[in-house]
Structure 1
Amino acid sequence: MSLQLTLASRNLFHDRLRFIATMVGIVFAAVLVLVQMGLFLGFGHMVTTMIDHASTELWVVPKNAKCFEDPSLLDIKLRERVASTDGVATVIPLVIGFSDWRLESGEMTPVFIVGADLRDGGLQPWNLVEGSTQALAERGAVAVDRSYFERLGAAGIGSVAEVRGRRVRVAAVTDGIRSFTTTPYVFVDLKAARTYTGTPTDRASSLLVRLKDGADRDAVLQAIRGRIGDAEVLTPREFRSRSRSFWLFGTGAGAALFAGALLGVVVGTVIVAQTLYSSTKDHLSEFATLRAMGSSNGYIYKVIIYQALINAVIGFCLAAGIGAVVVEMTEKSALPIVITPWLVVGLGVLTLVMCVVSAIGAIFRVVRIDPARVFMR
């Protein structure tokens, strides 16, 4: 094995320019796949960030609501029906919707209002770095994320603006609550949310259901379904799955990301295959000599496979390093790239498979070598 590995490495490093070209192909393919899939995971996390941070066991939403941002409304009377169900501790109305934020300069930008009863919790701003949730009970108080300061014309606590023609003041600041649509989230109390979104007092966007300790969630879920008519009751997992399906596949975003990843695999495989084939072709005389000396086909095949594996290992390490840098650079961006351990393992396997498949063309070329050609030189 050591002799085969030595021969493989010498073949690879003999022409350094060709080796660099091979590495560029492998790294390009691996980084493209890593970034595309990292974007896919990051997008999937961001579309459910509000659902993930809601302190609730069940969601009551309008029928066929596609995602958290769905503009459909519920009749607030459903709150009493749900609250009277055995096992239900609290039912918290949630009001959401788009509105306009007017800076002091007169410039306007769209924002997404999120409002819930501050006394009941349910869905409140997290990762607070300035101010407090209780401060939102004050008239005109809002919470915004500091990553949107420039767009909102804010500089911190005390900054003022107008929402739907009403004066507001930044009373709390968060860090890291970003919207995948790039529209800033603005947290307010329930009453203010109705005002800023124009939602009637007899309507709500959804109901957050918190259960009593020890309550059977499935049993409560079934009981609620029999009381809410056309509305739907979902677990957080079901709501997350529905939201991801809508944004990733219903809008075509997921297909575009997968297409980019597939393109990376195809381009990388072609580049590596062409390079390995060219390298093997340049060393046909050496392979013919090995066959004339009695080396088995298996021995020669292993040399070529080892070349592919060396390429894969070096290319993967370089791609993983670049991926780590990309994750660091996008951590505070509007759409951070998420790379999980499973994605790294999958990329390693994919890189190995890509390089081994690329070596098949070179193996087919060697199979057709006539050992007698060594005596014709």
Structure 2
Amino acid sequence: MTLILPEQEEPKVPLLEAPQVRPKQGFWQSFTQRTPIGWKQLTKKKGRLFVAIAGIGFADLLMFAQMGIQAALFDGNVLLNRSMDADIVIRSAQYRDLSLANTLPRRRIYQVQDIPNVASADALYISTVVWRNPETRLKTQLTLVGQSVERPALNFPEVNKNLDKLKQPDTFLFDRKARGKYENVVAAVENGKMATTEIERRSIKVAGLFSLGASFATDGTLITSQENFLRFFPERTSGQITLGLVKVKDGSDVKQVLADIKAVLPKDAIASTKQEYIDYELAYWGETTPIGVVFGFGTAMAFVVGIVIVFQILSTDVNDHLSEYATFKAMGYGDRFIVFIVLEEAMILAILGFIPGVGLALAQYALIQNVAALPIAMTFARFSFVFFLTLVMCGVSGLIAIRKLQSADPADIF
């Protein structure tokens, strides 16, 4: 008897699948697969994106220009005030600013010299003169300062080491940062030579230099002795001073000394700390003159121009993708999702537009500084504020552009 065994199936060996080879992607393809929808929509039409960036950059440039020039005008008008070597400044009760300071009786200086903890009290004479540029022979207006030659009145090392030169008749120190063409004059004086010119038909000599800068009112500054100063103003006596500069003794309380000075001064004189005096000058230029209003209005107009430009770009982009947004709505996505896409585009435009705006502003500041000799420079506070305004500008534009789409019905759109 033969036993027949059932046939056994051979074990199945799993076949190895060939690894799937993905096509090699370039950087741009890999990047776009991971980028937000807003970026993809903006880069779909690169010409429109370029126009948007240029428009935002132009709006930022306008805002930087308005704020920078305003700050330069304010800073330029207090350059001399900040350089005064004093703890307390005494001025006339009729004082408006350095260009219209009125005069103060010199005896007010003598009244405060005997107050406890007062180290020194000196007079400072300030006025404007018309001098002839030694190079171009053209007349221009400069600020003329007459100071004591015994003690420093200004925080200029170059002036303080040349005080002995100012004892000579009709000898002056000139501001090398004055507005105008003075390259040859500065070079000659730096080489030890004297430059000669005239003020009010009186010949003068420039024996030294210092660095300050131009202001809104004048093109530069000249410094001389009190005696030389008064020679150009025969109608003005030595008893008519512009400011009184008071230094307190080391370790003394400035506030207490100021209170003691105020107690002895009559109503025709005002005493304040140096910083309070500078703040008063800045407040005059910012609140009394139209400078603050004019430049503030210019900044606001640049902001509005930016909103209009970004709104036009985003509104056109929304209309181009209206069917895609309707599809998102039909799939169940809410308005928040669509708003996020448009705001995403707005923030991308804000960042991309701000970069060229900053670059152009820096070039503009350098040009203004060289041509107008104004103390203009980029500050972190202004940089941050304009960037914040740019974000707000683009965000507001995005919200305006999305209003129509939020109320749209997918059925109506299709």
Q: Is TM more than 0.5 here?
A: yes
Equivalent in the alignment of 2:49: 19
Equivalent in the alignment of 1:50: 80
Equivalent in the alignment of 2:145: 114
Equivalent in the alignment of 2:238: 201
Q: Deviations over 1:186-216 (max 9, x none)?
A: 1111111122234312221110000011211
One-letter amino acid of the structure 2 residue matched with residue 111 of structure 1: L
Equivalent in the alignment of 1:243: 281
Alpha-carbon offset, residue 92 of structure 1: 1.0
Aligned CA-pair RMSD:
2.4
Give the SS at the match of 1:245: helix
One of 311, 315, 334 as aligned partner of 1:273: 311
One-letter amino acid of the structure 2 residue matched with residue 224 of structure 1: I
Alpha-carbon offset, residue 281 of structure 1: 1.0
Q: Deviations over 1:209-232 (max 9, x none)?
A: 000112111111111112120200
| CA–CA separation in structure 1 for the residues paired with 2:141 and 2:290 | 24
1:269-348 equivalence runs, <5 A = 269-332=307-370, 333-348=372-387
Equivalent in the alignment of 2:388: 349
Residue 35 of structure 1 contacts residue 337 of structure 1 at CA under 8 Å; is this kept in 2? no
Question: Quick check: 1:179 aligned with 2:215?
Answer: yes
Alpha-carbon offset, residue 53 of structure 1: 0.8
Residue 115 of structure 2 contacts residue 260 of structure 2 at CA under 8 Å; is this kept in 1? yes
Residue 276 of structure 1 contacts residue 358 of structure 1 at CA under 8 Å; is this kept in 2? yes
Distance 1:335 1:106, change over 3 A: closer
Distance 1:329 1:103, change over 3 A: closer
| CA–CA separation in structure 2 for the residues paired with 1:153 and 1:200 | 36
Distance 1:27 1:347, change over 3 A: same
Alpha-carbon offset, residue 329 of structure 1: 2.5
Question: Quick check: 1:253 aligned with 2:284?
Answer: no
Alpha-carbon offset, residue 152 of structure 1: 11
Equivalent in the alignment of 2:14: none
Which moves more between the two structures, 192-201 or 59-68? 192-201
Equivalent in the alignment of 1:169: 205
Equivalent in the alignment of 1:99: 129
One-letter amino acid of the structure 2 residue matched with residue 203 of structure 1: Q
| CA–CA separation in structure 1 for the residues paired with 2:226 and 2:331 | 84
| CA–CA separation in structure 1 for the residues paired with 2:408 and 2:133 | 75
Q: Deviations over 1:6-41 (max 9, x none)?
A: 211121121222212211221111111111111122
Alpha-carbon offset, residue 164 of structure 1: 3.1
One-letter amino acid of the structure 2 residue matched with residue 250 of structure 1: T
1:125-164 equivalence runs, <5 A = 125=156, 132-148=162-178, 150=181, 154=185, 156-157=188-189, 158-164=194-200
Structure 2 gap ranges (5+): 1-31
Residue 85 of structure 2 contacts residue 154 of structure 2 at CA under 8 Å; is this kept in 1? yes
| CA–CA separation in structure 2 for the residues paired with 1:45 and 1:312 | 30
One-letter amino acid of the structure 2 residue matched with residue 206 of structure 1: L
Alpha-carbon offset, residue 373 of structure 1: 4.6
Alpha-carbon offset, residue 126 of structure 1: 5.4
Distance 1:44 1:4, change over 3 A: farther
Give the SS at the match of 2:116: coil
Alpha-carbon offset, residue 338 of structure 1: 2.9
Residue 145 of structure 2 contacts residue 222 of structure 2 at CA under 8 Å; is this kept in 1? yes
Residue 94 of structure 1 contacts residue 206 of structure 1 at CA under 8 Å; is this kept in 2? yes
Question: Quick check: 1:370 aligned with 2:409?
Answer: yes
| CA–CA separation in structure 1 for the residues paired with 2:204 and 2:155 | 18
Q: Deviations over 1:159-209 (max 9, x none)?
A: 111223332111012234223223331111111112223431222111000
Give the SS at the match of 1:182: coil
| CA–CA separation in structure 2 for the residues paired with 1:293 and 1:256 | 52
Equivalent residue pairs, number: 372
One-letter amino acid of the structure 2 residue matched with residue 321 of structure 1: G
Alpha-carbon offset, residue 266 of structure 1: 0.6
Distance 1:64 1:83, change over 3 A: same
Q: Deviations over 1:68-125 (max 9, x none)?
A: 3334111111111110111111001000112232467975433221111021111265
One-letter amino acid of the structure 2 residue matched with residue 346 of structure 1: F
Residue 98 of structure 1 contacts residue 197 of structure 1 at CA under 8 Å; is this kept in 2? no
Give the SS at the match of 1:329: helix
Equivalent in the alignment of 1:189: 225
Residue 91 of structure 2 contacts residue 269 of structure 2 at CA under 8 Å; is this kept in 1? yes
Residue 99 of structure 1 contacts residue 163 of structure 1 at CA under 8 Å; is this kept in 2? yes
Alpha-carbon offset, residue 3 of structure 1: 8.1
One-letter amino acid of the structure 1 residue matched with residue 74 of structure 2: G
Alpha-carbon offset, residue 239 of structure 1: 1.2
Give the SS at the match of 1:214: coil
Q: TM-score, normalised by structure 2?
A: 0.84
Distance 1:313 1:303, change over 3 A: same
| CA–CA separation in structure 1 for the residues paired with 2:240 and 2:171 | 22
Residue 42 of structure 1 contacts residue 337 of structure 1 at CA under 8 Å; is this kept in 2? yes
Residue 59 of structure 2 contacts residue 305 of structure 2 at CA under 8 Å; is this kept in 1? yes
Q: Report the identity percentage.
A: 25
Residue 154 of structure 1 contacts residue 160 of structure 1 at CA under 8 Å; is this kept in 2? no
